[in-house]
Amino acid sequence: MKQVELIDISKSYDKQTNVLNEMNLSINKGEFFVLVGPSGCGKSTLLRMIAGLEEITGGVLKLNGEVANHLPPKNRNLSMVFQNYALYPHLTVEQNILFGLDVKKVNKKEQKRRLLETAEMIGLSELLKRKPKELSGGQRQRVALARSVVSEAPLCLMDEPLSNLDAKLRAHMRVEIRRLQRKLGLTMIYVTHDQVEAMTMGDRIMVLNDGKVQQVGEPITLYNEPANTFVASFIGSPKMNMGKAELSVENKQIIVENKLTFHLTQTDIQRIPSTKKTTIGIRAEHIYPANELDATHYLEVASVEHLGNETMIVFEEVGHQLWNAKWPGQWMVNPGDRVPVTISVENLCFFDADNGQLLQPAYKGQEQGVVAQ
């Protein structure tokens, strides 16, 4: 069942420039849907329009099949978790959690039942009498989350709720929010600029840029088959390596940024786009370490990050971009070294050189990635 529908939704503040441009989207009941994009792309504005906190300039918003364009926020049967927690400093944790239920005049017995159940679920049972100033950032985040959960609203909107937390706590809260969403069967719309959060939490992701939808799909689809160069560079950590490429069918070669040459088999020529000039992209995990006998290319190391279980290597510019490789295990290489690598045409994505649209995803990238690990 479609719980949220956006039909040609637009937003402008001066009736001239659209912040959001004719967006069409359906979000199903029980889905964890993530809006991701750089700062200023319109994702928080879209969330606030669904919540009723921003006026819709054009188009139709439907909640549970009913038009909700002019429905007041209190009648939309949803809850919202804000980036800054929005807790009342003079109220205890318990009072903060129950504030919305007090406003709705839910009876005290029912409030108590929901409070105890939610506090136990989110791990706040021992903190109910404390004030927000006595809590850590993670505890405050859980209070904001509990206030949303206790409302038992079927639709929950979250606007970058983890951005103020440290890295370890963010990783923990990602798991907790996802687990809670599944347990309660909530429909959740989650806004973030962090593509790691988007990839690890979402059932589906919508990538926004400049108020326009770039791609909607499952995380692994966006990773393997990015619709354009923007999605390719935004989804994935590190971002996809890219370079301008020129195809020479006569010489059976692709030359990237006049620096890397790829020799093509007849099978390669049949599979890759026939367009003479393209932009190619390759994921960091598909630049493999090699010995001198097996190497297809040599790249100069710019910097090295040792992460214990893997080594991140940044290579000097190919064209105008530094390229990244991600190698399992520990590799003792140093800046300035020229190291042998293997890069296969089968792992290249091809994009239109003019408009950046995907022409051909890597036809063996996913398979080789699994084998390599």
- DSSP-assigned letters across all residues of 61-113: EEETTEE-TT--GGGS-EEEE-TT----TTS-HHHHHHHHHHHTT--HHHHHH
Instruction: Give the separation between CA 232 and CA 226, rounded to whole angstroms.
Output: 5
Expressed in percent and rounded to 5, the helix, strand and coil fractions of the chain are 30, 35, 35
What pLDDT is recorded for position 184? Answer: 87
Q: What is the pTM of this model?
A: 0.88
Q: What was the pLDDT predicted at 143? A: 93
Q: Which 8-state DSSP code applies to residue 1? A: -
- Contact between 189 and 6 (Cβ < 8 Å): no
Helix, strand or coil for residue 58? strand
For residues 126-147, average pLDDT: 91
Task: Return d(Cα 149, Cα 81) in angstroms, integer.
Answer: 10
In the block, tokens 């160069």 appear at 229
pLDDT at res. 367: 44
Question: Where do we find the tokens 């009498």?
Answer: 129
- In the predicted structure, residue 97 carries a pLDDT above the cut 90: yes
Could you report the per-residue pLDDT of 322-372, keeping only the tens digit for each? Answer: 999 999 999 999 999 999 999 999 999 999 999 999 999 997 644 444 333
Can you tell me the distance from the alpha carbon of 235 to that of 222, in angstroms, rounded to the nearest whole number? Answer: 7
Provide the b/e sequence for 232-241 (b: ≥16 CB within 10 Å).
Answer: bbbbbebbbb
For 19, phi then psi, to 5°, come to: -80, -35
- Chain segment 137-149, per-residue pLDDT in tens: 888 988 998 999 8
The pLDDT value given to residue 372: 31
Name the β-bridge partners of 217: 205
d(CA 2, CA 28): 4
Instruction: For 313, list phi and psi in degrees, rounded to 5.
Output: -120, 130
State the average pLDDT over residues 58-66.
94
Please state which CATH class domain 2-224 belongs to.
alpha beta
Provide the pLDDT for residue 157: 95
Cα distances from 6 to residues 49, 159, 186, 212, in angstroms, run 10, 18, 19, 13
Confidence band of 67 (pLDDT split at 50, 70, 90): very high
Q: For 193-233, how does the pLDDT look when each residue is reduced to its tens digit (9 = 90+)?
A: 888 899 999 999 999 999 999 999 999 999 999 999 999 99
2: confidence class by pLDDT, cuts 50, 70, 90: confident
**Cβ(43)–Cβ(160) below 8 Å:** no
Q: How confident is the model at residue 171 (pLDDT cuts 50, 70, 90)?
A: confident
Q: Provide mean pLDDT across the span 229-240.
A: 93
Domain boundaries, the chain: 2-224, 241-372
Amino acid of residue 35: L
Per-residue pLDDT at 281 = 96
Spatial separation of the C-alpha atoms in residues 334 and 331, rounded to whole Å = 9
- Range 74-80 average pLDDT: 92
Tokens of 164: 């103020």
3-state SS class at 322: strand
Q: What is the pLDDT of residue 318?
A: 93
pLDDT at residue 43 is higher than 60: yes
Q: Average pLDDT for residues 265-283, to the nearest whole number?
A: 92
pLDDT-derived band at 1 (thresholds 50, 70, 90) equals low
> Would you say 205 and 147 are in contact if contact means Cβ atoms under 8 Å apart?
no
Count Cβ atoms below 10 Å from residue 144 Cβ, excluding itself. Answer: 23
The strand pair at 155-159 and 187-192 is best described as parallel
Query: Phi, psi at residue 153, to the nearest 5°?
Result: -75, 135
DSSP calls for 173-233: HHHHHHHHHHHHT-EEEEEES-HHHHHHH-SEEEEEETTEEEEEE-HHHHHHS-SBHHHHH
